[in-house]
Amino acid sequence: MAQTPTQRVIDALAERLQRSVVIDDPNVRLLYASQHYGDEDEVRTHAMLQRRASSAAIGHVLAQGVSGWSAPGVIPPNDDIGMHARVCCPIRWRGELIGLLLVVDAEGTITTSELSTIAAAGAELAPLLAAERESDADPGSAAVQEAVGDLLGESSLVRLAALRTLAERTDLRGFARARVVRLEVRPAESATDSHVAAALRFGLDPGSPELSRMPSLVSVQGHHGTAIVGAVGRSFSEEQAGALAGRLVARVHEVAADRFECVAGVGSEVDGLERVWASHNQAALACRSAAKQRQPVGSWANLGPMAILLHLPAEHLHLEALPAEMQRVLAADKDGRLLETLRVFLEHAGSIPATSEALHVHRTTLYYRLDKLTELAQIDLNDGDTRLSLHMSLKLLDDGALRQ
């Protein structure tokens, strides 16, 4: 490590405590490290060799809520990943978290006096890290992130301004064709917003193996993040996009520490960045479908009729909102047999031969069930609007989109 003022402070702290010390950024990426003092564990060794902590270690640290701490606290050990306990002191500058000072405490023997020493070192480090961050900052990076978010919005004027900003600040070659992959996190009560944001940034890291090989623009806002992915030379197929989305979800889960779940939605490929807002809207609906079906990835291309039905506000999707025809079917069906018969009948476009074959029943039996259904539910299966109403209702029921 270079002998910067920051390095000298942590070396002095490590020497005084006779313990290994590191400084990580708020996303638990290694910035500085002292020499070893015989207390190194698998996590520290990995971080020193790879210049970053393992994803499991990042998740364990963030899961403790360190981003919200205002004073030193203890991160418990994690034997599953070979991690000793650590004292963590948040480094804040003008209220903003800019770093994490971590001291290995393998035996849990750090004293109150030593905690005060660590806190004093954190206060000394704050202006040093703030100055370094200011000198290293890319003045355009925040503007690019904001522009990517604006590019996905509803206002055409805002999108146009965002496109101009991006053209001025980054290379837009490779986006003649593009699509959006959207990630959404649904945290449990034990997850902090900072943990969620850090996990999304980890998942959508442009330098990751998943995104570094293709043109991409990313944005993280609240509990969701987006990647605009450009096609290089040829179309980026649905299969490739779905596989990419699955890998991005897996990256988020690597640092989630089982505190929350992430799903992805894949929008269609569109012509240029001027149209990615449409792909983003599709990806958002695909996310909603994936979450309802408890699948990691949803694709707009595979939604079928649900692509239209999912535009309905979620608060309006409940059993009582189903059309009267379906309400009568549900009331008449005591054992589920009539509903299953109706489902297969509609899926086979009302074909009696195809329906009886799919249900493995004789046509006479099928006619009996359909007659019973029409009589009990007072419906006309020869009417096109009735069939459409019933089929849409079944799609909503089968997708799990309805609340009880």
pLDDT digits (tens, 9 = 90+) for 210-235: 998 889 999 998 899 999 999 766 66
Q: What is the pLDDT of residues 73-115, one digit of tens each?
A: 999 999 999 999 999 999 999 899 999 999 999 999 999 999 9
Give φ, ψ of 348 to 5 degrees. Answer: -105, 25
For the chain, residues classed under CATH 3.30.450.40 are 5-136
Alpha helices in 87-138 (DSSP H): 112-136
Q: Which residues of 309-325 are buried (b: 16+ CB within 10 A; e: fewer)?
A: bbeeeeeebeeeebeeb
- Looking at residue 335, its pLDDT comes to 86
Q: Tell me which CATH homologous superfamily contains domain 5-136.
A: GAF domain (3.30.450.40)
With b for 16 or more beta-carbon neighbours within 10 A and e for fewer, the 256-287 pattern comes to bbebbbbbbbbbbbbeebebbbbbbbbbbbbb
Q: Which helix (H) or strand (E) holds 89?
A: strand 86-93
Q: Which CATH superfamily is domain 141-309 in?
A: Reverse transcriptase/Diguanylate cyclase domain (3.30.70.270)
pLDDT the model gives residue 233: 60
pLDDT at 133: 79
Whole-angstrom Cα distance, residue 359 to residue 366? 9
Measured between its terminal Cα atoms, the distance across the chain in Å is 59
Contacts by 320-325, CB closer than 8 A, 24 or more apart? 321/402, 322/393, 322/396, 322/397, 322/402, 323/389, 323/390, 323/393, 325/377, 325/379, 325/386, 325/389, 325/390, 325/393
**Amino acid 236: pLDDT:** 74
pLDDT at residue number 90: 96
pLDDT given for residue 184 in this prediction: 96
The one-letter amino acid code at 69 reads W
User: Measured between alpha carbons, how far is 311 from 355 in angstroms, rounded to an integer?
Assistant: 30
In sequence order, the 6+-apart residues with CB closer than 8 A to the CB of 209 are none
Instruction: Please state, in angstroms and rounded to a whole number, the distance separating the CA atoms of residues 191 and 194.
Output: 8
The per-residue pLDDT for 332 is 86
Q: Which residues have a Cβ under 8 Å from the Cβ of 223 and sit 6 or more positions away?
A: 184, 185, 186, 187, 193, 196, 200
Asked if residue 216 lies in contact with residue 227, where contact means CB atoms within 8 angstroms, the answer is: yes
Which pLDDT does position 1 carry in this prediction?
41
Question: What pLDDT, on the 0 to 100 scale, is given for residue 288?
Answer: 87
One pLDDT digit (tens) per residue for the chain, 404 residues:
447 889 999 999 999 999 999 999 998 989 999 998 889 899 988 888 877 788 999 999 999 999 899 999 999 999 999 999 999 999 999 899 999 999 999 999 999 999 999 999 999 999 999 888 776 655 457 788 889 999 998 899 999 999 999 998 888 988 999 999 999 998 777 778 889 988 999 999 988 999 988 899 999 988 999 999 997 666 678 889 999 999 999 999 999 988 899 999 999 999 999 999 999 999 999 998 888 888 999 999 888 777 777 766 666 667 777 888 888 888 888 888 888 999 999 989 999 999 999 999 999 999 999 999 999 989 999 989 888 888 888 887 876 656 55
Which residue spans of the chain are classified as CATH 3.30.70.270?
141-309
Instruction: Tell the CATH superfamily of the 315-399 domain.
Output: PucR C-terminal helix-turn-helix domain (1.10.10.2840)
Check residue 333 and give its pLDDT: 86
